[in-house]
Structure 1
Amino acid sequence: MDLAFSGWPGIIILAVYGALMLGVGLFTYLRNRNIHESLDEYYLGGRGLGVTVLFFTFFATQYSGNTVVGYPPSAYRQGFEYLVSVPFFIMIIMAYLLFAPRLYSIGKKYKLVTPAQWFEKRYKSKAITILASLLMLYGLGNYLLEQLVAIGQGVSGLTGGTIPYQLGVIFFVIIMLIYGWLGGMRSVAYTDTIQGFALLFGVFMLLIGSIIYFGGVPTSTDYMQAYSPEKLGIPDAPGVRNWLSLLLLIGIGAAVYPHAIQRIFSAKSEKTLKRSFSRMAWMPFATAGVVFLIGIIGINAFPGLSTGESEQLVGMMASSIASQNMIFYWAMILLFGGVIAAIVSTADSILLTFQSIISNDLYGNYINPDASERKKLLVGKLIGVVAVGILILIAWFPPATLYQIFVLKFELLIQISPGFIIGLYWNRLHPKAVFAGMLAGTIVASVMTIFDLSLLNIASGLWGLLLNLIICVIGSLMMSVSEKEESESEQVISV
């Protein structure tokens, strides 16, 4: 009996998970009828997320389509050199610990809803707030595009092409818009929890099945030694520099994800936040490490794939394992649904934050300051729908592999980190220096990225960040600050 994902079984799986997500949205809406009256309720879940839900919504933010669908193909193409993907996520947790507890306390103190509000509160500068908002919107749009591409590739690969790439994107975008519109952050957090259990179980079952049916890492290593010895080698000096630069770029950049910052604001208490982070510390090994091994095993399981073909690797391996026996068939069903649900819930949390920056920080502050919270929410939702429509057109024919899309957004997003993180601790950080540094770093990173300029094999975003830091720190030391301004800044950052 052929048990591979194809035809009606795949369609039924999609329908069940789609219905489940819609059910979560409807349930959340019926339990919280005032959700569309308050920015706190809609965007932050009433600031009441507990340890388990907060952990899984952080988990879904860091480990989604780019990890489960996109990372094994990168390991397949690069070999053991891609082991660096595990420290990527360790760096993110380390970066969180630099500022998250303090930011939570300040966010609670001033009832902050978006990260852009922190810039406004800290620097009282329209220029900084708008520039930071635009950089965050760029990063969010880029990450949302990545999720849409991952949805299409995941559905197409895991159904053996029965459901076309484009149809998979359209179907789940509609689901995402409906349940996100109904339930806001609570819908996203609850679906994150459901998909988290399914995803972790399914990924480990995929690894076990890969070891049983494809021979595991030793067999794949023997194959690489015979046919692809370059995948066994260690990187040279430029490669090591590239590793280190990516660790910094992704570690800091992912920690200042706007939608991750909103989860900090959503925590029920500082204790809840810290307990969630303590659990997140194990996830780089349990998730990124596992999908790295799956990609390595895939080198022997499906040799000779092109770059485009390798992007379907997870789906190909899952379908092959599902065809072996009923236990793995149902395990791969759970993985399949977990992957798709993870991607969709991550995409929805990105969209929520995108909407909140548009509605609260740009529309509410500068276009219509007298707008009610209900009107701000409506404007954010409508603009979010338009943004998704534009990104669908781009995702229809994706311009790059998932990994290339993943790295691109950090080059600019990381430029908000000096003003965001240092500003939490140093009251002398001057608004003019922050704006000049952020703008200069953005220009340098953009020019180097657009023209594919490389210096010492270090990511262009880090060169921009270095210039950004120099201008921020030296500029602040050179500029005079009155006692009143210094006192006001100290009052803002005190906890």
Structure 2
Amino acid sequence: MELTFAGADGIIILSAFAVIMLVIGYLSGRGEKNLHHSLSGYYLAGRNLGIIALFFTLYATQYSGNTIVGYAPSAYRTGFSWLQSISFMTIIIGIYLLFAPRLYVVAKRRNFITPTDWVHHRFQSKAVTLLSIFLMLWGLGNYLLEQLVAIGHAVSGMTGGTIPYQIAVLAFIFVMLAYEWMGGMKAVAFTDVMQGIILMVGIIVFLIGGLYLVGGNFADVTRYIHEMEPVKTAVPPSEVSINWFSMLLLVGLGASIYPHAVQRIYSAQSERTLKKSFSRMAWMPLITTGLVFIVGITAIMLYPGLDTVGSEQIVGMMANDIAAINPFYYWMMIIFFGGIVAAIVSTADSVLLSFSSMISNDVYGRFMNPGASEHRKVMVGKVVGVVAVFLLLWVAWNPPGTLYEIFILKFELLVQVFPAFVLGLYWKGLDKRAVFWGMLFGALLAGVLTLTGNKTIYGIHGGVIGLGLNFVICVVGSWLLPSAADKPVEQEEYQTLRSKAN
């Protein structure tokens, strides 16, 4: 994503964003006496996020700069079948609404900090809790790696190579660690507001500039693609359609139980605030991934014949051409790409915060030192988070595959937690032994298929195949072991809590 027009101006904008994020972190932590002494204060912003902060932090959780940098090239290579990117972002909202309000009510009563607090409360099983912790940390680690790789490429590209990849990663990692250390979830949420606004406005301006480059008529683009690359407008073969539905399941179910997404649910000021935020989020797939899809399709006409490596650069190539239109577009592109970098950092900080919370609360607080104070747990989480970042940096120096391929890897195992997490909310008879073996064998099958290169079989992802086995074991096992049914979340308790939560 080389931006030949940016150079020194790009460095200035990036520096401004870095300073703003640091100021937000400082102001978020100033005067908050309990911030660093309370798990809820540091990791959940005191469970007091209002509708604006909650909406934008949910938006930043679901979308990052990678939505533009990674999805537009996928649309370029795939063609119109990449419309699936809109649908699988939409289904995430539907899955949230399936369980989020109910989970919020239970979490508020029980003072949950992490997603596995719910798993532990529901099943009272050390084995189920530990396995779910491992799978969620695996997903978070992969997601954080993706963001580190993207930060380096985005900053290096925006500065025309003036700031090398490794230096770019290190600089913004230090910024991220600093403001997160100072302000916790509150700082993360407020930086999300700034970055979300820039990202939404920037995508619209970017699309308008792209359409200007092709003459302003999207019909001409589709006509060109149909004539020159008809396979990209044709009805996809059955295996592609199957793969599409497989992706819907993999991403829809997996992304909805991202630990940092679940913790946003816990952080809401009220159930009503949560529902209003999700109702607004329902429009975001069209405004975000929908517009990015059009950008990628437009690039097919602008830059025909690019291979996989070349297509990964189309966003930077188009930005260079848009910036050359006039001074307005020039500065909008610089601010927009600064916002992309900030949005990637924003996603990384959310993931890191969730990662450290699970280490401090679930691993250290529950299993290693149950008697530790909340202040000590917060400090352990902070330190381990820093260590984890620098371990992942070692991998980020030589990133594996394209950004999209890195994106896919994390869902294969993370999605195996879904039956335990969501089915447990609705089915009183779900047995903890069936849940454990379902998660374990589902994860093993998905992992084996991925490691042996069989990411899909007849278009179905290995994670979805593993999830199918997982569900079968959970359901059949629970029917065969009715006497071992775990303590359920009482329906009458839920109804009582629901009225209180509002």
Normalised by the shorter chain, which TM-score bucket? Answer: over 0.9
Partner of 1:350 in structure 2?
Answer: 351
Kindly indicate whether the alpha-carbon contact (under 8 Å) linking 1:158 and 1:319 is maintained by their aligned counterparts in 2.
Answer: no
- The one-letter code of the counterpart of 1:465 is L
Q: Unmatched 5+ residue regions in structure 1?
A: none
Partner of 2:279 in structure 1?
Answer: 278
Kindly indicate whether the alpha-carbon contact (under 8 Å) linking 2:7 and 2:158 is maintained by their aligned counterparts in 1.
Answer: no
Selected match of 1:474 from 473, 476, 481: 476
Partner of 1:457 in structure 2?
Answer: 459
- How far the C-alpha of 1:6 sits from its partner, in A, is 2.8
Partner of 1:37 in structure 2?
Answer: 37
Partner of 2:432 in structure 1?
Answer: 431
The SS at the match of 1:33 is coil
Partner of 2:82 in structure 1?
Answer: 82
Partner of 1:151 in structure 2?
Answer: 151
Following the alignment from structure 1 to structure 2, what is the Cα–Cα distance between the partners of residues 443 and 482?
25
Kindly indicate whether the alpha-carbon contact (under 8 Å) linking 1:73 and 1:311 is maintained by their aligned counterparts in 2.
Answer: yes
The SS at the match of 2:482 is coil
Following the alignment from structure 1 to structure 2, what is the Cα–Cα distance between the partners of residues 112 and 471?
28
Partner of 2:127 in structure 1?
Answer: 127
Following the alignment from structure 2 to structure 1, what is the Cα–Cα distance between the partners of residues 169 and 30?
28
1:347-426 equivalent positions in 2, closer than 5 A: 347-426=348-427
Following the alignment from structure 2 to structure 1, what is the Cα–Cα distance between the partners of residues 307 and 61?
29
2:335 is equivalent to residue 334 of structure 1: yes
- The one-letter code of the counterpart of 1:358 is I
The SS at the match of 1:70 is helix
Following the alignment from structure 2 to structure 1, what is the Cα–Cα distance between the partners of residues 128 and 109?
22
The SS at the match of 1:160 is coil
Partner of 1:305 in structure 2?
Answer: 306
Provide closer, same or farther for how the CA distance between residues 256 and 36 of structure 1 changes in structure 2, counting only shifts above 3 A. same
Kindly indicate whether the alpha-carbon contact (under 8 Å) linking 1:125 and 1:431 is maintained by their aligned counterparts in 2.
Answer: yes
Following the alignment from structure 1 to structure 2, what is the Cα–Cα distance between the partners of residues 66 and 273?
25
Partner of 1:234 in structure 2?
Answer: 235
Kindly indicate whether the alpha-carbon contact (under 8 Å) linking 2:47 and 2:266 is maintained by their aligned counterparts in 1.
Answer: yes
Kindly indicate whether the alpha-carbon contact (under 8 Å) linking 2:122 and 2:489 is maintained by their aligned counterparts in 1.
Answer: no
- How far the C-alpha of 1:32 sits from its partner, in A, is 1.6
Please give the TM-score of this superposition, normalised by the length of structure 1.
0.96
Following the alignment from structure 1 to structure 2, what is the Cα–Cα distance between the partners of residues 158 and 88?
29
The SS at the match of 2:434 is helix
The SS at the match of 2:236 is coil
Following the alignment from structure 2 to structure 1, what is the Cα–Cα distance between the partners of residues 471 and 340?
38
User: Deviation string for 1:94-153 (max 9, x for gaps)?
Assistant: 110110000000000100000011111111111111100000000001011111111122
- How far the C-alpha of 1:427 sits from its partner, in A, is 1.3
Please give the TM-score of this superposition, normalised by the length of structure 2.
0.95
Kindly indicate whether the alpha-carbon contact (under 8 Å) linking 1:122 and 1:492 is maintained by their aligned counterparts in 2.
Answer: no
Following the alignment from structure 1 to structure 2, what is the Cα–Cα distance between the partners of residues 430 and 491?
21
1:43-122 equivalent positions in 2, closer than 5 A: 43-122=43-122
- How far the C-alpha of 1:482 sits from its partner, in A, is 6.5
- The one-letter code of the counterpart of 1:402 is L
2:41 is equivalent to residue 10 of structure 1: no
Partner of 1:162 in structure 2?
Answer: 162
The SS at the match of 1:447 is helix
- How far the C-alpha of 1:29 sits from its partner, in A, is 1.2
Kindly indicate whether the alpha-carbon contact (under 8 Å) linking 1:219 and 1:300 is maintained by their aligned counterparts in 2.
Answer: no
- The one-letter code of the counterpart of 1:457 is G
- How far the C-alpha of 1:226 sits from its partner, in A, is 4.2
Following the alignment from structure 2 to structure 1, what is the Cα–Cα distance between the partners of residues 17 and 33?
24
Following the alignment from structure 1 to structure 2, what is the Cα–Cα distance between the partners of residues 100 and 467?
25
Aligned residues: 492
- The one-letter code of the counterpart of 1:206 is F
Kindly indicate whether the alpha-carbon contact (under 8 Å) linking 1:153 and 1:311 is maintained by their aligned counterparts in 2.
Answer: no
- The one-letter code of the counterpart of 2:409 is L
Following the alignment from structure 1 to structure 2, what is the Cα–Cα distance between the partners of residues 222 and 162?
40
Q: Which moved more, 1:103-112 or 1:218-227?
A: 218-227
- The one-letter code of the counterpart of 1:455 is I
Following the alignment from structure 2 to structure 1, what is the Cα–Cα distance between the partners of residues 281 and 324?
33
Partner of 1:291 in structure 2?
Answer: 292
RMSD value over aligned CA atoms? 1.7
Partner of 2:500 in structure 1?
Answer: none
Q: Which moved more, 1:282-291 or 1:32-41?
A: 32-41
- Runs of 4+ in structure 1 off by over 4 angstroms are 485-495
Following the alignment from structure 1 to structure 2, what is the Cα–Cα distance between the partners of residues 482 and 29?
47
- The one-letter code of the counterpart of 2:276 is R
The SS at the match of 2:34 is helix
- How far the C-alpha of 1:491 sits from its partner, in A, is 7.6
- How far the C-alpha of 1:493 sits from its partner, in A, is 6.4
Kindly indicate whether the alpha-carbon contact (under 8 Å) linking 2:9 and 2:334 is maintained by their aligned counterparts in 1.
Answer: no
Following the alignment from structure 2 to structure 1, what is the Cα–Cα distance between the partners of residues 136 and 165?
28
- How far the C-alpha of 1:49 sits from its partner, in A, is 0.2
The SS at the match of 1:369 is coil
The SS at the match of 2:79 is helix
The SS at the match of 1:427 is coil
- The one-letter code of the counterpart of 1:329 is Y
Provide closer, same or farther for how the CA distance between residues 488 and 65 of structure 1 changes in structure 2, counting only shifts above 3 A. closer
Provide closer, same or farther for how the CA distance between residues 319 and 372 of structure 1 changes in structure 2, counting only shifts above 3 A. same
Q: Unmatched 5+ residue regions in structure 2?
A: 498-502
Partner of 2:260 in structure 1?
Answer: 259
